[in-house]
Amino acid sequence: MISPVAAQRIDTLVTDPVSGEQRHRADYAGTVWYGGRPQMTPGMVVSRGGGAQITTPFWLPDSHVYEGEAAGQAQVQASAAVQSSRDDCQILEVGAALGENPQGSGQLQVYLAVTAAAQLPLGVAYRVTVICAPEAVRGL
């Protein structure tokens, strides 16, 4: 069970320092919960899961839709951190890219892939930055 919870997306126009061209920058952030969100009870958090290997990518819930050809030159960067009270959690790999969302009828959106080993439930804080030509973002 994967539950992404997006924080506020930040959109800005920036200038490429080399070419002087305007670029669109979208900063995505949030937390994705693997194994469900922990349940709070008075004085403690209830952990109901066991150990797991996490490999399933997910689509960012607040992703822009990007245009195919114009998005070809997009730059995508991702980082992630474990949010857990346990010491036996490790993030092994983090990556993000634009891909065709199977739910979006051929639309390009941002997805994040995290490879980790952990006890569930596990929260992973993520931050993804996409920089592209303004015309690559549909609806701008």
Residue 134 has pLDDT above 90, yes or no: yes
Q: Are 119 and 50 in contact (CB under 8 A)?
A: yes
How far apart CA 126 and CA 134 sit, in angstroms, is 24
**More confident call, 74 vs 52:** 74
In a domain? residue 43: no
How far apart CA 106 and CA 69 sit, in angstroms, is 13
In a domain? residue 110: yes
pLDDT of residue 43: 62
In a domain? residue 112: yes
In a domain? residue 42: no
Helix (H/G/I), strand (E/B), else coil: 72:
helix
pLDDT (tens digit, 9 = 90+) per residue, 13-60? Answer: 999 999 999 999 999 999 999 888 877 677 655 555 667 788 889 999
Which single residue is written with the structure tokens 């403690």?
44
pLDDT of residue 66: 95
pLDDT (tens digit, 9 = 90+) per residue, 103-117? Answer: 867 789 999 999 998
Residue 61 has pLDDT above 80, yes or no: yes
In a domain? residue 88: yes
Q: Which residue(s) pair with 110 in the sheet? A: 98
Query: Total structural domains in the chain?
Result: 1
pTM, whole model, 2 decimals? 0.87
Average per-residue pLDDT for the chain: 88
Residues of the domain holding 119: 2-37+48-136
